[in-house]
Amino acid sequence: MMNMKGLATGIGSLPFYDAQKAIDLIFSCLPCAPFWPQLPNCDMREGMIAQFSENLPGLRIDESGLRFAPVDKENELETFYEKFIEQDLPYFKISPNFARGLHVFYQRLKDADLSKVEFIKCQVTGPFTFCSGINDLYGNPILHDSVLMQAMVKGLSMKALWQLKHFSPFGKKMLMFFDEPYLACVGSAYTPVNRNDVIDLFSELADSLSSQDCLVGIHCCGNTDWGMLMDTAGIDIINFDAFDFQERFVLYADNLKNFLKKGGIICWGIVPTQGYSPSQTPEELSQKIKSGLDTLVKKGIDRELLLERLMISPACGLGTLEAQQAEGILSLLNQTSIFIRKNL
């Protein structure tokens, strides 16, 4: 296992209209683990759900947005499963109309000096968030339809595999994050999803990627049952909002011990998004992480192991912010990464 101490990466979205400007910022601030930027301000097809909807059964995009509107549900599912069984990766591509940032990022990687790049980070919207955001013909989230839910899980796994194949020519270790804000709802009386559902589904997703040279991560920007994710087979990285939820996260020290023993990595979302201020400093954010580490050490976890498995990121995606705020957040993230690597 590589020493990840202080490695910084991003979480999906940026508020820019110009993909080149977004990627300039990424390579400037996150040279060791750059990511392809989602650009939701450019087109509705770059929204976090619509972006991964191409060729998934029954999904259509028109001027009103993404919706479930199958022409022939059974035939669409049959075609989908034929392509899935064949592992027809080009069928599951993410085209430039849906992810301009991905394709401009690919070209930049071809043209750039990659000597500083340790990882290439990609992302897919997680299946619970994806399926909770699409309604069936009766107005119910397809999260409640076991047939459609299973198809979408398989489709999203193929979107992840297509990315890993697409970026494989660069010869870098890959990070594949599933972005799952919906997991903050798990345990609520208002959601049909329980702990075992999450463990089973993400174990399946991780298994589908197990033949690839990648680390599989889950990002949740709300609070959830973190032990649930630590106990899921095949998950390598857990990314949480450390600015707002660190005190709750450290309550799962027993689960974390086992997660770290399995090679697990924690990505601390230490630079706030909604609570960002230009007055915040790398020293302040690093001290906040240190306080979390101190708590975990008191609970019996080795400090050096925690530091070796410590990545950082913004607390969440930056797509809803102003461009100047996004620039400030990624700059602060870069400075915090440097500070951690030198001082913690």
Number of structural domains, the chain?
Answer: 1
- Residue 321 is assigned to a structural domain of this protein: yes
* pLDDT at 187 > cutoff 70: yes
Report strand pairing: 173-179 vs 310-314.
unpaired
Q: Are 39 and 326 in contact (CB under 8 A)?
A: no
In total, the chain counts a number of residues equal to 344
How many CB atoms are closer than 10 A to CB 64? 8
- Angle between helix axes 146-167 and 73-85 (nearest 10 degrees) is 40
* pLDDT at 238 > cutoff 80: yes
Alpha helices in 119-145 (DSSP H): 127-132
pTM of the model: 0.97
Give the range of the structural domain holding residue 286, as residue numbers without chain letter: 7-51+94-131+172-343
Say what the pLDDT of residue 191 is: 85
Amino acid at 223: N
Burial tier of 111 (Cβ tally within 10 Å: 0-12, 13-18, 19+): exposed
Structure tokens at 341: 């690597």
CA-based torsion, 66, 98, 51, 93: positive or negative: positive
Q: Are 238 and 267 in contact (CB under 8 A)?
A: yes
End-to-end CA distance of the chain: 19
Give the chain's radius of gyration (CA, Å): 19
State pLDDT tens for residues 69-91.
Answer: 999 999 999 999 999 999 999 99
- Residue 71 is assigned to a structural domain of this protein: no
State pLDDT tens for residues 5-42.
Answer: 999 999 999 999 999 999 999 999 999 999 999 999 99
How many CB atoms are closer than 10 A to CB 179? 25
- Residue 207 is assigned to a structural domain of this protein: yes
Amino acid at 145: D
Residue 190's pLDDT band, with cuts at 50, 70 and 90, is: confident
Identify which of 303, 330, 288, 337 has the alpha carbon closest to the alpha carbon of residue 118.
Answer: 337
CATH of the domain at 101: 3.20.20.210
Identify which of 131, 127, 176 has the alpha carbon closest to the alpha carbon of residue 153.
Answer: 127
Average pLDDT in the chain: 96
- Residue 79 is assigned to a structural domain of this protein: no
Alpha helices in 222-312 (DSSP H): 226-230, 242-249, 253-261, 282-298, 303-308
- Residue 147 is assigned to a structural domain of this protein: no
* Angstrom distance (rounded) from CA 281 to CA 174: 30
CA-based torsion, 201, 203, 207, 209: positive or negative: positive
CA-based torsion, 18, 20, 26, 29: positive or negative: negative
- Would you give the distance in Å from CA 105 to the centre of its chain? 17
Residue 1's pLDDT band, with cuts at 50, 70 and 90, is: low
Q: Are 80 and 57 in contact (CB under 8 A)?
A: yes
Say what the pLDDT of residue 118 is: 97
* Angstrom distance (rounded) from CA 93 to CA 107: 16
State pLDDT tens for residues 270-303.
Answer: 999 999 999 999 999 999 999 999 999 999 999 9
- Residue 328 is assigned to a structural domain of this protein: yes
- Residue 197 is assigned to a structural domain of this protein: yes
- Residue 160 is assigned to a structural domain of this protein: no
